[in-house]
Amino acid sequence: DWLQDNTQRERLAWMTEALGGKRVYRKFSIMSDHPDKYPALTDPLIFSQIKSLEESLNEYELYWIPTNDIEQVQHQLKEGDIVGVIGNTKGILIIHTGLVSYGADKKPHYLHASSHHKRVVFTPGTVAEYMKAQKKRKGIVVARPLAP
């Protein structure tokens, strides 16, 4: 929801649709479906606020770029673009987030905090190659920071 919030505050622009993204529907419910994983949700007021937030997110039109389409559009990504990785986890859209950073090869790479490597990683391959490396990575959403 921070992407949507910062878009409304005019700090970011959603770029996914402009890059040829396809409409996707995802019902947001990860937190309210699993309150035992979030200690703060034992408070009924906080639980109802989270449930309300998830329901409001369900009203937005969302677009995504499937993994197999990324190679054709990645040349349009700009340095610093925010890339959210879409997985197939029920109740949530974005499972990981990173930034676009161009390498010496003049191609867009993915700069992200890797839980596997336990550090920030500049992927050796392009964004498209990173996405194709694991089947759980279904596609991406892209947001671009706006100048203040």
- Residue 21 has which token pair? 């993204």
Instruction: With beta carbons less than 8 A apart as the criterion, state whether 122 and 65 touch.
Output: no
Q: What is the pTM of this model?
A: 0.88
pLDDT tens digits for range 112-124: 998 888 999 999 9
C-alpha triplet 55, 61, 66: angle, nearest 5°: 115
pLDDT tens digits for range 57-107: 888 888 999 999 999 999 999 999 999 999 988 888 899 999 999 999 999
SS3 annotation, the chain: CHHHHHHHCCCEEECCCCCCCEEECCCCCHHHHCHHHCHHHHCHHHHHHHHHHHHHHCCCCEEEEEHHHHHHHHHHCCCCCEEEEECCCCCCCEEEEEEEEECCCCCEEEEEEECCCCEEEEEEEEHHHHHHCCCCCCEEEEEEECCC
pLDDT tens digits for range 19-53: 999 998 888 999 999 999 999 999 999 999 999 99
End-to-end CA distance of the chain: 21
pLDDT interval class at 2 (50, 70, 90): confident
Q: What is the spatial distance between Cα 66 and Cα 13, in angstroms, rounded to a whole number?
A: 19
